[in-house]
Amino acid sequence: MKVSPSLLSADFGNLAKDIDMINRSNADLLHLDVMDGVFVPNISFGFPVIKHVQRLCQKPLDAHLMIVEPQKFIPQVRDCGAAIMTVHQEACIHLNRVVQQIHDAGMQAGVALNPATPVMMLRDIICDVDLVLLMSVNPGFGGQQFIVQTLNKVRELRQLITLNGSNAQIEIDGGVNEITGAQLAEAGADILVAGSYVFGADDPIKTIDGLKNL
């Protein structure tokens, strides 16, 4: 199992310390949630912060844009050094074009689905994306309770990927811990995003290892 700790739950007063912990850990990625207060009811951090993080972090950056018109910010995300740029299906009228623009910018393209959005919305694009991010909480805030129905969505998405010969990975964001992580692994998830479960742990490095071993 791959693990992508979410910077949203880090201590921004000691950001360098938390990023150093990520560097020393076996985490595969660092998840960055960019929120605009419009698409989701919260505001997080912008590109200057991501650029600073990129200078400190030795892990690939996994940028998740929870904003309206994310296609306008593809150059900024690229210039911040992101390896993956994930946009929401619900925010993109011309999703195929946005995915192609992300690829043209030299990044892997991910598409995120909110909890109420059906997996079949990605049927016609599943072979074009590198990653599908399923939100297992309503986006915008950390520390929420895991939505159990996500497990069925993971199984459905895994079937869609297999039937179409897609190479897309399945990433889950929201309410991830050792218990839900084990359930998600069994359902077919590839990557777990964990925020408060990692950064709030007494031993975050050990916690990351626990998720990776699922």
Distance CA 50, CA 26 (A): 21
Q: Let me know if 104 is a catalytic residue.
A: no
- Interstrand relation of 82-88 and 30-35 (parallel, antiparallel or unpaired): unpaired
Q: Let me know if 33 is a catalytic residue.
A: yes
Residue 43 identity (one-letter amino acid): I
Distance CA 154, CA 183 (A): 10
Kindly report the three-state secondary structure assignment for every residue of 30-61: EEEEEEECCCCCCECCCHHHHHHHHHHCCCCE
Active site residue: 18, 62, 130, 173, which one? 173
Active site residue: 28, 33, 36, 130, which one? 33
| Catalytic site positions | 33, 173
